[in-house]
Chain A
Amino acid sequence: MGLALLSRLPGFTMANQSSKEITKEMQRDFSRESKQRNLTHAGSNQPCVIKEIRTEEEGIKEFLFTLGCFEGETVTVISTLADNYIIHVKDARYSIDADLAKSILI
């Protein structure tokens, strides 16, 4: 009952609208990304050369760099587990999520 009352408030519909806008924006974002091959397209056990790390978040690129994960270096997907990608970079294994895997272009 409380929820039904709330949905009549003007702000509620506004929030709904804008969340649709957000998903649209994200879809557009995604289609732009998917034109290029990223790590989610790589098969297991196939070494790939990184072309670019494309991400909006400051810092993560620098962090990946310190692990030796940057353009020109080789990365291999070992397996896909529970929506995470187990990758091999410079003799170490890391678990990364799909979002991060998408920003590693190969």
Chain B
Amino acid sequence: MRIALAGNPNSGKTTLFNALTGKIEQVGNWAGVTVEKKEGNVKGELHTGKDKLRVVDLPGAYSISPFTSEESITSSFIKDEKPDVIINIVDATNLSRSLFFTTQLLELGIPLVIALNKTDLLSKKGITIQKETLEKRLGCQVVETVSVSGQGMAPLVQAAIDASGKMQPPAEDSLVGADDKKRFVFVNELVKEAELRQVESVKQTRQDAVDRIVAHKFWGIPIFALVIYAVFSISQSYLGPFLADIFVGGIDQLYGLVEGAMGDQVSPLLSSLLLDGIIGGVGAVVGFLPLIMILFFLLALLEDCGYMARIAVVMDRFFKKVGLSGKSIIPMIIGTGCAIPGVMATRTIRDDRQRRTTAMLTPFMPCGAKLPVIALFAGVFFNNAAWIGTSMYFVGILIIIVGALIVKRITGEGAVRSYFIMELPEYRVPSISRAFVSMMSRAKAFIIKAATIILVCNAAVHIMQTFNWSFQVVEEGMENTSILASIASPFAFLLIPLGFGVWQLAAAAITGFIAKENVVGTLAVVYGISNFIDTEELALVSGAENVAAVMGLSSVAAVAYLMFNLFTPPCFAAIGAMNAEMESRKWLWAGVGFQFSMGYTVAFFVYQIGTLITTGSFGTGFVPGLLAVAVIICILVVLMHRGGMKSSVPAKEMI
């Protein structure tokens, strides 16, 4: 038996889905978290029957006629795939809007059960709802639920089983095929009859007062910056490194244990591959897991409390000036966890150009995989300063805004108006346990990735570094003849103007396209793990000067290298997601080319200007680098100019 979950955005469908199935799908306190349908089986303890109950979680929709593409997933699933039962999740605090969709669903003839969700909020808001009146007038069973605490799940499943196979009558025969306005008239009457409100929802509340502060014209951005700074300083300067240091001790012990167990029997080549390549490389990445887990935990708290929707309001003004809207900020915030769901979240944006631009720019946000890179560089060169992470976050946003402006000029569609509308969810105290669950599931994904892709990559890097093209072991002092060095060297040549033109760093940047964590792993392999982990003090990053000296980087070049890794194209998986959402090869290639140009240009200016300030003269390779950047800028200017011509054509036709 198949049960579909349908209802308005942010009514708690995915939370209910998780409560029913025991899965841990991403939830958040704003409209449009779920953009794909998800399936799972109802937990055994919730029903006694032998049949398997399959639940399908659908993206939120306000009506059966789709507005955005994720809404059309919902309506086409219900209409075409005919689930056996629909559970319509209705936000109990907002009957007057939610029941409109209910009246449409009731006419499909599919048995329907209403989950009257968020009933725990009713008494707080002084609302009483007569369940029986709703049941009588709508002609279906109504079950009170609280999906965040899992209340009412067993009765809901029972009601769904009871309803299956029965004929579902419409709420009122006169409504079938009638004008949608009549539906609202019907809903208004019904709500008047069934609902009693002591306090009108239009009354100003404390929440509105909070909104006036956090979404303030001038204070909104500083508050946002402060929140992000707090997130980074907790995860990177205080709690994170403390936990990481303990954790790293364990990795170090494993290294020693494996080393001891192998003894002298194993060939030195194999033991070096295992110790330095796999344990060392993967260990360097996994060493950052505690930092990342804390960051994910804090982000989950932020997503849960309802603050994200306010950020969209604050950012709308800036994004509008560059041809995007506040809606574009949501994918970018999701992209702080991982760019792939971030890019997928662009589906909620209706306008093709806006959606593609957002999909192109979302990967500029520092995702979880880039965090080890940030943490490593912040640790080595800046003594774990939280402002590195925070500034990378805001530089990311700045680059996105500049990027959007350039794309807007190139596509030449500046004059098109776009409307921004977004539901403001209520603030709530974020749940520690939900954030914990979300953190653990992301940590699990991180570990799986480290044990598969990153392990294989590090082993490959180690092998390529150990052998030369005639498959002989590279001798000491001849490292430049290794397979890895000869592949990476031509790329390194291109990176000289950016301040990091050595093959080791080039190789790390290249493996970063497979997964960004690889940057750290590869660095650990090519420079030797002992330079990263202080084996005596069991600290994650040993003496900063040592590492800096081994890498041969100045602080300025380190920032340039960090930015190059953050602001060039994302990993291949994220590029795949971009391809899926952009639905245009032209946009995809242009996007990847744009990301490369952006990373190169930013790193060039950071290195050269930074070097000029710190040493009084430009860094190496200034002239050729300037030429390359000039070519990039010229191409962009010509494209923008052509875009300007394009936008002038319809205007002329208008006259």
Q: Which residues of A contact B (CB under 8 A)?
A: 2-3, 6, 9, 11-12, 14-15, 17-19, 21-22, 25-26, 45, 47, 55-57, 59-60, 62-68, 70, 73, 76, 78-79, 81-84, 86, 88-97, 99-100, 103
Contacts and interface: CB of A to CB of B under 8 A. Distances in A.
Contacts of A93: 423-424
Nearest to B642: A11
A86 B420 CA distance: 12
Interface in B211-233: 211-212, 215-217, 220
A67 B62 CA distance: 7
B172 interface: no
Contacts of A9: 641
Given A19-B644, A59-B350, A63-B67, 14 more contacts: A14-B645, A15-B647, A21-B652, A22-B651, A66-B67, A68-B96, A68-B184, A81-B215, A90-B94, A94-B422, A95-B326, A97-B419, A99-B417, A100-B419
Nearest to A81: B215
A71 B648 CA distance: 36
Contact of B313 (A15, A26, A82, A91): A82
A22 B496 CA distance: 46
Majority SS at the chain A contact face: mixed
B428 interface: no
B217 A83 contact: yes
B423 to A, nearest CB: 5
B320 interface: yes
Contact of B637 (A6, A91, A100): A6
Contacts of B420: 84, 95-97, 99-100
Nearest to A74: B202
B96 A90 contact: yes
Interface residues of B, number: 55
Contacts of B94: 90-92
Interface of B: 62-63, 65, 67, 93-97, 100-101, 180-181, 184, 201-202, 204, 208, 211-212, 215-217, 220, 309, 312-314, 316-317, 320, 325-326, 350, 415, 417-424, 633-634, 637, 641, 644-645, 647-648, 651-652, 654-655
A15 to B, nearest CB: 4
Contacts of B212: 79, 81
A103 B421 CA distance: 13
A94 B95 CA distance: 16
A75 to B, nearest CB: 10
Contacts of B419: 55, 57, 60, 96-97, 99-100, 103
Contacts of A45: 202, 204
Contacts of A96: 419-422
A88 B202 contact: yes
A103 B220 CA distance: 26
Contact of A18 (B62, B313, B651): B651
Contact of B208 (A47, A64, A86): A86
Nearest to A6: B641
A65 B65 CA distance: 11
Contacts of A95: 215, 309, 312-313, 316, 326, 420-424
Residue among A47, A79, A91 facing the most chain B CB atoms (10 A cut-off)? A91
B637 A76 contact: no
15 contacts: A19-B651, A56-B417, A65-B180, A66-B67, A70-B181, A78-B204, A81-B211, A81-B215, A82-B215, A90-B97, A91-B97, A94-B421, A94-B423, A95-B420, A100-B419
B316 A84 contact: yes
B427 to A, nearest CB: 11
Contact of B421 (A21, A56, A100): A100
